[in-house]
Structure 1
Amino acid sequence: MPRYRYSSHLIAGLVLATLLLAPLTVLADEFAEGERSFRAQCVGCHSIDPGRHLAGPSLHGLFGRPAGSLEDFDYSPVLEQADLSWNRKNLDAFLAGPQDFLPGTRMVLWGLDERTRRHIIDYLESLAAP
């Protein structure tokens, strides 16, 4: 019976490939979880398509955008006057309790748990990445 000899370079290459691909699998899983959370919690009122507003504004290009700044959406006065731009910190606080973060907002949400917020924020941020 023949014995197969594997070079240390081949084994090292396989180990390296496994280590490099593992994070991609985790990222794909995280993206899928974020998309599921978005669909379960947000898609009834928000679109991710540019210019497509539902009950809430499109979330396309959300990161870095000043709150209440889309010209073709009718925001609550508190959002139009808010002096903030959407980033991870502000979005997390808003999704934890919109009325606590910006009293008077029209956003109808009782607040999301930390894990769900993180997944949704990660998902929305990944859509903004080049």
Structure 2
Amino acid sequence: MADRKSIVTAALLILAAAQAPAFAAGDAGKGQGVFKEQCAECHSVEAGRNRKGPSLFGVLGRAPGSVADYEYSDAMKANAEAWSEARLNDYISHPRRVVPGGKMKYDGLDDAGDRADLIAYLATLH
């Protein structure tokens, strides 16, 4: 019985992994351009320099709502999941859906390639 349970568990894990969306690697050089075009009006990439939005320096791996000297919405502060590539991808795609009640006034970046490039650029900022 234990062997059958192990086989079923392994099969379910394999199926789940096969259906999980893979995050496409982007081009950081192109991502810098996407940042300038889509994000720079509100965000800085310099450590400690917040604008309308918090600095995005070191955003990957950081807890949401954790940049000093920036006043986050309660909705953003309530998020506990660190900013991974996949989470950033979801957030950049649909900010209000991922963090309902957040204060970012951005409709989202539809193009998956642009999002991948942007996230590759943000990953260089550390």
Which structure is larger by alpha-carbon Rg, 1 or 2?
A: 1
- Do residues 108 (structure 1) and 105 (structure 2) align? yes
- 1:38 aligns to what? 35
Give the TM-score normalised by structure 1. 0.73
Q: Which sections of structure 1, spanning at least 5 residues, go unmatched?
A: 1-28
Unaligned runs of 5+ in 2: 1-25
- The residue aligned with 2:10 is none
* In structure 1, C-alpha distance between the alignment counterparts of 2:108 and 2:95, rounded to whole Å: 7
Equivalent residue letter for 2:113: R
Between the two structures, name the one with larger relative contact order (CA 8 Å, sep ≥ 6): 2
Which structure's residues are more often helix, by fraction?
A: 1
Is the aligned partner of 1:48 residue 2:45?
yes
**Alpha-carbon separation, structure 2, partners of 1:72 and 1:88:** 24
Query: 1:121 maps to what in 2?
Result: 119
What CA distance in whole angstroms lies between the structure 1 residues aligned with 2:68 and 2:121? 24
Q: Secondary structure at the match of 1:64?
A: coil
Question: What is the root-mean-square deviation of aligned Cα atoms in Å?
Answer: 1.4
Give the TM-score, by structure 2 length: 0.75
Return the alpha-carbon distance in structure 2 between the equivalents of residues 127 and 70 of structure 1: 15
Distance 1:30 1:98 in 2: 22
- Alpha-carbon shift at residue 52 of structure 1 (Å): 0.4
Q: How far is 1:71 from its partner?
A: 2.5
Q: Distance in 2 between matches of 1:30 and 1:115?
A: 9
- Paired with 1:109 and 1:93, the residues of 2 have a C-alpha distance of 13
* Identical counterparts, % of pairs: 35
Deviations 1:75-96 (A, max 9, x none): 0110111111111011001001
Aligned residues: 100
